[in-house]
Structure 1
Amino acid sequence: MNRPGNRVVAGVSGSLGSLTALHRAASVARVTGAALWAVLAWEPPGGDIPHRGGVCPAPRTAWRSMAADRLTEALDAAFGSAGPGVPLERLVVYGKPGTVLLEVADQPEDLLVVGAGARGPLRRAMWPSVSRYCLARACCPVLAVPPSPLHRTFHAVRRRNTWQLPLNVAELTGRR
């Protein structure tokens, strides 16, 4: 394992934004010769409050296993069987994403890479931004990667499908 400080820590959730950030983290790790640490934070379904009275170990083990599977699926989706081309450390950690990422990227020499995500007023009100949390509190540099341009196109197509609107392929290619 590489020494602390020679790492690029990437937050992974499996979303398109986190996969874009994971690609960027692998590129930076390749250029700098650092190890890539892919970190997925998980919490029980419905949050931690319903389970404070003591949750049976069987569901907790199953949830952790599901989180590990989600990390494997995200890495496979991002890199395929070839892998990222740099030393890779996989971490599945119980806790809130921002807190977990800051606990892992705890050296000033680390680089923390997170997806910035698409943020509208409703999203900001409903779900706190992990990237903002990390940018405000990290002891190391943080790279917030904006969504891929394809991200917006994907969501536009998904909205059209949800509302059963006709799809104009010329709009997707930029030709009108």
Structure 2
Amino acid sequence: MSGYDSCASGRVVVGVSGSLGSVTALRRAAVEARRRAAELWPVLAWEPPGGELAARRAPAPPFLVEEWQRTARERLLGVLDEVFGEAGPSGVPLHGLVVRATPGPALVETADREDDILVVGAGRRGWHRAFSGRVARYCLAHAHCPVLAIPPSPLADALAAAHRRNAWHLPLDVRKLPC
């Protein structure tokens, strides 16, 4: 192979939320980790309902914070199980991380080594773009390591269109969906 594999080391850090974009990024991150003989670090960042500002103004009881943390951990484990199964990604050391923080800063802080690669979902296309992709933009602007922004799956647009048609009770021709 090329010299691409000769620099194999470090970690591949990937943001995971459970969204279609983050699952696509997780799959690509596993491929990158395997190629580079690196560790895979899926990170799920969570914030209390209303954000940290609201949590500072009216702190939640500790049992509630523990429940939110447990829910975030279960979400990460569920996504990893859905994508890789019980065996995990073959040939790749996996280190899942759940962090109470805003996603962009949490990912940049985790991918803090020069030999790290940060993988993020790039968000939606079209007019939705103005309202999504904040995490990817933050990471691209602030990371000190290479960032791989994964575009949405081609099925994402078809899924969104099918959802809109369903919401409006319009007929859906499944023959026109991409394979």
TM above 0.5, yes or no, is: yes
Displacement after TM superposition at 1:49 (Å): 2.1
RMSD: 1.6
Provide the rounded CA distance (Å) in 2 between the counterparts of 1:58 and 1:108: 38
Provide the rounded CA distance (Å) in 1 between the counterparts of 2:173 and 2:106: 42
Equivalent residue, structure 2, for 1:152: 157
* Amino acid corresponding to residue 93 of structure 1 in structure 2: V
| 1:151-170 equivalence runs, <5 A | 151-170=156-175
Q: Which range is displaced more, 43-52 or 64-73?
A: 43-52
Equivalent residue, structure 2, for 1:40: 44
Q: 2:19 aligns with which of 4, 10, 15?
A: 15
Provide the rounded CA distance (Å) in 1 between the counterparts of 2:162 and 2:175: 12
| Runs of 5+ consecutive residues of structure 2 not aligned to the other structure | 1-8
| Runs of 5+ consecutive residues of structure 1 not aligned to the other structure | none
Equivalent residue, structure 2, for 1:108: 114
TM-score scaled by length of structure 2: 0.88
Provide the rounded CA distance (Å) in 2 between the counterparts of 1:19 and 1:77: 9
Displacement after TM superposition at 1:119 (Å): 4.5
- Structure 1 runs of 4+ off > 3 angstroms? 119-123
Identical counterparts, % of pairs? 55
Provide the rounded CA distance (Å) in 2 between the counterparts of 1:124 and 1:169: 29
SS in 2 for 1:81: coil
Provide the rounded CA distance (Å) in 2 between the counterparts of 1:124 and 1:173: 25
TM-score scaled by length of structure 1: 0.90
Number of residue pairs matched by the alignment: 169
Q: Deviations over 1:127-154 (max 9, x none)?
A: 5610011001110000000011111111
